[in-house]
Amino acid sequence: MTHDQLELSNDELLSTTRAVRKRLDLDRPVSMEVIKECLELAVQAPTGSNSQNWQFVFVTDPDKKKKIGELYRQAFSLYREMPMAIHKLHSDSEDKDLKNSQERSASSADYLGENMGKVPAMMIPCITGRTDNEEGNNVLAQTALYGSIIPAAWSFMLAARARGIGTAWTTLHLMHEKEIADLLGIPYDEFMQIALIPIAYTKGTNFKAAYRPEIENVMHINHW
Ligand SMILES: Cc1cc2nc3c(=O)[nH]c(=O)nc-3n(C[C@H](O)[C@H](O)[C@H](O)COP(=O)(O)O)c2cc1C
C-alpha cells in the first residue's frame, strides 16, 4: 500500500522541507510501513562506486529513545555555550531577516533539545568506514563517505515530507556516538553514525520556504 501524499509540486517539496521541531506531533504514531516506503525511495540515492555501504537504524523502543534523548539533551546544553551555536551565529548580523530566522531556529532547536526522547521514531543513518582513523583522514575519503550517505538520508526526509511527516537533521548526539552505538548494537569500529533524525507527523502540513540571502552571494560562474 502506498501512503497518502500531500499535494505538493516538486519545487514546493524542495523548498518547504524544513527542520521541523516544535511542530512534530509527539502523540501520533508513525507506522513502520510508511517508514519503509520512505526508505525504499531513499536507497535510490547515489553512492561512491555504487558501494551502497549504508545502514539505517530506526528507534521506536521507548526506553532506548529516552536514553538517546537524554544524551542528546546533555550534548545540546554543551553546544548551546559554544561560539558556533545557532544561538550565537549571525546574532550581530545587519541582515534583520537572517537574524530573525536564526532566532526562530534557535528557539526551535531548544525545544528539540528537551523533547528528542519523546519523538515517535528516530533514524540514524550509518556508513561503512570512519573518518576519525588513519584511513579516513583525508578529504577524498571523507567526502566519499559523507557523500554516500547524506543524499540518501535527505531523500528519506523529502519522502517523509511528501507524506506529511516532519524530520530534522541533527548531529549533536555524536558527542556520545560510542555510547549510542553500544545501546543500539551498531558496530562502532566499522560504521560511523551520520545523524540523528527525529520522525513524526507534523502539526499542520503548511510550511514556507525559508529565508535565504540572494544566491548571487554564493554563486560563481567560471571563476571564484
Ligand atoms: C550538518 C547539520 C547538523 C545539524 N545539527 C543540528 C542539531 O544537532 N540540532 C538541531 O536542532 N538542528 C540541527 N541542524 C538543523 C539546522 O539547524 C537547520 O537545518 C537550520 O537551522 C536551517 O533550518 P531549515 O532546515 O528549516 O532551513 C543541523 C543541520 C545540518 C545540515
| Structure confidence by residue, pLDDT tens digits, 78-96 | 999 998 898 878 777 888 8
In a domain, 157, yes or no: yes
With 90 as the cut, is the pLDDT of residue 205 above it? yes
Q: Average of pLDDT values for 98-126?
A: 94
| pLDDT one-digit tens code per residue, 128-162 | 999 999 888 899 999 999 999 999 999 999 999 99
CATH number of 156's domain = 3.40.109.10
184 and 122 in contact (C-beta within 8 Å)? Answer: no
Distance 1 CA to ligand 1 centre (A): 32
In a domain, 215, yes or no: no
- Residues in Cβ contact with 55 at an 8 Å cutoff, skipping those fewer than 6 apart: 125, 126, 127, 128, 186, 191
In a domain, 193, yes or no: yes
Q: Whose CA is nearest to atom 11 of ligand 1?
A: 109
What is residue 28's predicted lDDT score, i.e. its pLDDT?
A: 98
In a domain, 146, yes or no: yes
Q: Residue 222 has what DSSP assignment?
A: S
- Counting ligand 1 atoms within 8 A of each CB, the residue from 77, 105, 110 with the most, and so the one to mutate, is 105
195 and 126 in contact (C-beta within 8 Å)? Answer: no
> What is the reported pTM?
0.96
Distance 29 CA to ligand 1 centre (A): 23
In a domain, 108, yes or no: no
Q: Average of pLDDT values for 91-104?
A: 83
Report the percentage of the chain scoring pLDDT > 70: 100
Distance 139 CA to ligand 1 centre (A): 23
64 and 165 in contact (C-beta within 8 Å)? Answer: no
Number of independent structural domains in the chain:
1
Confidence grade of residue 1 (pLDDT, cut at 50, 70, 90): low
Index of the ligand 1 atom closest to the CA of residue 171: 8
In a domain, 69, yes or no: no
Confidence grade of residue 190 (pLDDT, cut at 50, 70, 90): very high
Domain housing 51: 18-62+118-204
User: Which grid cell is 3?
Assistant: 501512503
Q: How far is CA 86 from the centre of its chain?
A: 15
| pLDDT one-digit tens code per residue, 46-56 | 999 999 999 99
> Ligand 1: residues whose CB is within 6 Å?
18-19, 86, 105, 109, 112, 168-172, 210
In a domain, 23, yes or no: yes
In a domain, 87, yes or no: no
Report the percentage of the chain scoring pLDDT > 90: 86
User: How many Å apart are CA 198 and CA 207, to the nearest integer?
Assistant: 17
Q: Whose CA is nearest to atom 23 of ligand 1?
A: 19
Q: Whose CA is nearest to atom 12 of ligand 1?
A: 170
